[in-house]
Structure 1
């Protein structure tokens, strides 16, 4: 079977055998490679444009990379503001934007926040918020689904960077009232003395209304507080109106990422191992049961440490490799690798535990008083050695991360207090 010639989205997809993924250059004015899978029945699946990005956006992202890597010093503020204006135009399409442009836009926004945090240069906030508003449009829900599935840039990625930008804004003591009332999100930056007045967000004049006018709009109200504060407080309030549409029915506060999955593995293995350890480590009366308990605890503790190694390797690929080999790192982050991490995290300890059990069966595998590996017979070394190696590797990874951080212009221009933190 084969999929027949078909032209769609400006690309001619030539006849392809079933079970094959065809690669073609991205449409006009975009960089990258589009893919399309011909299924086993000889039917085309929808094209995948996750790696197709507008050329202007790619160039803007490269300029920001140069600024962050200290290769470009001049015109930083102008570069950032020009990039924001470009993004506002690119993301304002009523038909929505593609998955590749969405993913790249999220990455560029993160870089802009990073540069703003390091340099302190003011940017065009209204344009920044307009880009956020465009990205949060329900017209982009299909692109969000693809990006969330194939990369780590889910909606929480956007929320995190909005939070970072808000904290940067709040550092300024001379805050001026800023209001943004968009179609997809609202924002207020202001100062208030809470012992003199309360805070209501959004206010009565906002566009935050439901389709059903009989329902009350969503709002938050902080009543006047009994406080003797000498200074007004700075605050940022944000309302995301379309987040539930973007998250989709399958993803509506569980928001997953490779890091979260590996962190959950650490927690799960620790809970299981400690539960078994506390409840069963003294059950030495039954030899077979004690051997099983020892092996299970050994295995789960190894899973915990290999989970820590997995996180270390993930950060190494995401940060250190990004600094020295941007293409390799971007390829690594372009889609989830969690299945490979989980395979190693849970698979390698099986080999070590089984080897240890076979080598020391009937030779003092566990202690006489406890169901745990014996130092006298040497079985404990097959726990100590992997743990020491993992610790050493993670220390080396930490050193490499610190070298990258202190080699960047972002940290080099920071205060001593920020460098220490």
Structure 2
């Protein structure tokens, strides 16, 4: 007999006594290799989740030798598992006590999703179905528009608790949101706190959540799967964006310098789309009617228009629709009803970036190139350049190209303030862990 009423949810202890053991027995695995000790406050029990063993297990009791110890109230953990709260939020509100390995603690949301979350298909296949992946890569990627999916069917990503509607995401969002007014210039998009964002949404403002993959592990996994299948450079900036539009919420006509896979989660959004004949492979974005980025000016093949091209087509995305929007494609959007969409966005380096970044790393290996530049004395630059040209001339082009590509490293642009860093859970845990270590403690409370 169950120890809870039939119409009541199972106690959270069932996660450790039943759900996690069953998942592990069924072959579910996490990429993490940590040993976690969990303690439910109030004497409700303790367990050890051992992911480092050849046969992972979850057993009663907090055994010695664990990597990370977490103490939390049962109700708080239930809220996390149901998507009503997140561990970062609880940590900063001092409702979660963490001791031990801070990297393991930071990885826990992903671990729980891998073991207890829905078994999802990742990569290109679920995004471009029913189109075969090889056909998409051959005929569409990277510069041809594609629209598909299953209109009016609930997409898999919409089932993620934090994405069930804009209010669910606002409830757990730890940072700031960008807002676009009902009639504002696209370029005027201030960042506001969550409370202000919620009020502005009710007044007709569109909300944009950046880097949602930092909050939702399943999205991070999907991003990495896409990066791998598409063969993207390691210094590609990949992130997930969520656009929440009230009825009438719109973004004015523009193009972006990044590639986007769009998943319509809820509602309906009307897109007007046109290929870009004004600039090939743009390295920056442009809003019609706005100033032209100085970097974009020398790239133009034709003067930029003052409205969308006459060739623009109108497409309506409904829940379940998916779209691949190539880099540089003209578009504008308007929601005909409350709408929520998810973008997998990739800012990729061009060959000029690869050469410039790789060559800079190569030059910095030489002390002479690290001298401070005195631009009033260009003779020194000419001398260094002459020597470097001679050095490069002795290297086979294929060998040089390989070394330049190999020197690329993952990065996030310095100017991007993804989340309010004062509330970034991973960074805070690392800081507290370092402080605790210096004081002789093994963790942070």
Place the TM-score, normalised by the shorter chain, in its bin.
Answer: under 0.3
TM-score normalized with structure 1 length: 0.26
Q: Which has the higher Rg, Structure 1 or Structure 2? A: 1
Question: Which structure dedicates a bigger proportion of its chain to helix?
Answer: 1
Higher RCO (C-alpha under 8 Å, 6+ residues apart): 2
Question: Which structure dedicates a bigger proportion of its chain to strand?
Answer: 2
TM-score normalized with structure 2 length: 0.25
